[in-house]
């Protein structure tokens, strides 16, 4: 700790962090010395190891990656990349105080939802709207506010699980409502709902089957029909839309995804949807619909525990504003731009990068360009695929050696300053080029690629 080199590190990182690094390094050296692997290193060596350990500890853990998995809105990789306008909006309110909950016209306390509510209403035709942390919270808030200690009928074909932790039956029970299953896995009819509704019913719920599709001999009750049944019994009809597009994606050459406005028109009293799925914004849960019901949601103390912070609201406001002009939106929203990208364009990029990549891996793996398909991800159009092109990295060698080499390559790509992530299929690594926009950064990563033979033990 007293050597001059370490004293400089203390100045930069603080005493505690450096002390911890020194102890970690010395402990490791003692173990290695004890097992006779190593002779006693000199001071310079030890200091270098301490600095490496400090580098490791102080590099940000949460960092950008290249998502070349072919799933565009990838929940594990942070979902939608934000438009520049949203990033600027975040920075503006991050730097200094804002009118988050202060009404500048009336000169008194304001409502943080007000910055986005008008936009959500304008874009969906809703009377009122509110926002919470994510769509899971939105569903929970709606259920708890409108149906606590009551029953909620849901079709057995819609008891969804989204990526591990969102399971509808579990969310319902934690919201304090009783799930009343109706119909069957493949077929649910209007009369199933009619029979399930009683004095104990709190609301009628329809859930978008976001990440699967039931095909074959199927039947579901149309939203307008469900709305009529709910309204006949004076019950709110709620649709958990999940992805929630505010504009028609067909105008960008994409498969049509039911919009929030269409869902409200078909009779839903409330619609819940995510801010970071097809909206291409920050993580948030948006709730749009009738003014009375939104008012009730806002009075629930749960809303306070689920409210969004100023950074999210700033980004969301910017993203909603961009939606007012769909013809520009497809250029401004990185998510939509990537979704709408034509295969020719993607293939051209793949062909341009192929020689460089092939040269880096020469003798170790081959790199070719191949057609593939991307998926939207995050529960939007689960079975539709978009035509795309990929760089396919196939390790050279017999089975075992090739498998080992594939692991070495995957590990090396994960170890890059900006890690490159793809998907593995039949012994090769597929890098879907649809989502690659920052070509220069990608090439810089390739240039610093180091294959380490001892690293082959990792997970593929």
Q: Which residues bind ligand PLP (CB under 6 A)?
A: 134-136, 139, 160, 162, 166, 207-208, 210, 240, 242-243, 274, 285, 379
Closer residue to ligand PLP (CB): 207 or 315: 207
Please state, in angstroms and as integers, the Cα–Cα distance from residue 73 to each residue in 58, 211, 239, 414, 434, following that order: 29, 13, 22, 20, 12
Q: What's the closest the beta carbon of residue 244 comes to ligand PLP, in angstroms? A: 8
CA distance 90 to 116: 14
Taking the complex as a whole, how short is the minimal distance between the CB of residue 135 and ligand PLP, in angstroms? 3
Give the residue with the Cβ less far from ligand PLP, 279 or 350: 279
C-beta of 132 vs 420, nearer to ligand PLP: 132
- Least distance in angstroms from the C-beta of 388 to ligand PLP: 23
Give yes or no for a contact between 285 and 135, defined as CB atoms under 8 angstroms apart. yes
- Terminal Cα distance for the chain, rounded: 41
CB of 240 to ligand PLP, least distance (A): 5
Residue, CB closest to ligand PLP: 242
Nearer Cβ to ligand PLP, position 78 or 326?
Answer: 78
Q: Nearest 5°: phi and psi at 165?
A: -100, -15
Report residue 364 as tokens: 């170790």
Residue with Cβ nearer ligand PLP (230 or 380): 380
Neighbouring C-beta atoms of residue 170, cutoff 10 Å: 12
Nearer to ligand PLP, 135 or 435 (CB): 135
Query: At its nearest, how many Å lie between ligand PLP and the CB of residue 243?
Result: 6
Of 393, 399, 447, the residue nearest 421 (C-alpha): 393
Render the burial of 424-451: b for 16+ CB within 10 Å, e for the rest: eeeebbbbbbbbbeeeeebeebbeeeeb
The nearest distance, CB 289 to ligand PLP, in angstroms, is 16
> CA dist 286 to 240, 243, 295, 330, 348, Å?
10, 11, 14, 21, 38
4 exposure class (CB count in 10 Å sphere: 0-12, 13-18, 19+):
exposed
Looking at the Cβ atoms of 69 and 135, the one nearer to ligand PLP is 135
Bridge partners of 371, per DSSP, are 389
The distance of closest approach from Cβ of residue 296 to ligand PLP in the complex, given in angstroms and rounded to an integer, is: 21
């Amino acid at each position: 700790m007293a050597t001059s080199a370490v004293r400089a590190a203390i100045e930069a990182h603080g005493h505690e962090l450096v002390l911890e690094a020194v102890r970690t390094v010395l402990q490791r050296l003692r173990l290695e010395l004890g097992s006779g692997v190593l002779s006693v290193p000199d001071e310079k060596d030890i200091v270098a190891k301490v600095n490496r350990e400090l580098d490791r500890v102080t590099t940000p853990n949460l960092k950008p990656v290249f998502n070349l998995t072919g799933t565009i809105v990838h929940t594990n990789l942070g979902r939608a990349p934000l438009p520049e306008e949203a990033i600027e909006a975040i920075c503006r309110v991050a730097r200094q105080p804002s009118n988050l909950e202060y009404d500048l016209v009336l000169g008194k306390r304001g409502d943080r939802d007000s910055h986005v509510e008008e936009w959500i209403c304008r874009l969906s035709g809703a009377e009122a709207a509110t926002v919470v942390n994510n769509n899971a919270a939105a569903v929970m808030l709606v259920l708890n506010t409108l149906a606590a200690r009551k029953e909620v009928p849901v079709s057995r074909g819609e008891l969804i699980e989204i990526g591990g932790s969102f399971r509808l039956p579990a969310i319902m029970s934690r919201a304090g409502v009783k799930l009343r299953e109706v119909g069957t896995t493949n077929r649910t009819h209007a009369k199933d709902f009619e029979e399930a509704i009683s004095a104990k019913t709190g609301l009628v719920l329809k859930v978008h089957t976001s990440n699967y599709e039931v095909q074959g001999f199927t039947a579901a009750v149309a939203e307008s029909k469900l709305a009529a049944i709910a309204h006949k019994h004076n019950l709110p009809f709620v649709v958990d839309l999940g992805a929630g597009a505010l504009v028609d994606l067909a105008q960008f050459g994409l498969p049509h995804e039911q919009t929030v406005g269409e869902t409200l028109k078909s009779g839903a009293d409330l619609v819940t949807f995510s801010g970071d799925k097809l909206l291409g914004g920050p993580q948030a849960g948006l709730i749009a619909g009738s003014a009375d019901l939104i008012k009730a949601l806002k009075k629930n103390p749960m809303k306070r525990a689920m409210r969004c912070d100023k950074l999210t609201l700033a980004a969301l406001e910017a993203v909603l504003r961009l939606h007012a002009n769909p013809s520009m939106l497809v250029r401004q929203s990185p998510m939509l731009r990537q979704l709408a990208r034509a295969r020719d364009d993607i293939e051209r990029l793949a062909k341009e990068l192929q020689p460089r990549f092939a040269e880096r891996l020469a003798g170790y793996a081959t790199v070719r360009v191949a057609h593939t398909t991307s998926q939207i991800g995050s529960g939007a159009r689960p079975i539709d695929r978009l035509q795309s092109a990929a760089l396919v990295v196939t390790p050279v060698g017999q089975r075992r050696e090739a498998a080992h080499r594939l692991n070495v390559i995957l590990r090396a790509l994960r170890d890059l300053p900006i890690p490159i992530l793809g998907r593995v299929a039949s012994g090769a690594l597929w890098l879907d080029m649809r989502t690659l926009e920052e070509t220069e950064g990608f090439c810089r990563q390739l240039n610093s690629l180091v294959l380490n033979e001892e690293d082959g033990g990792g997970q593929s």
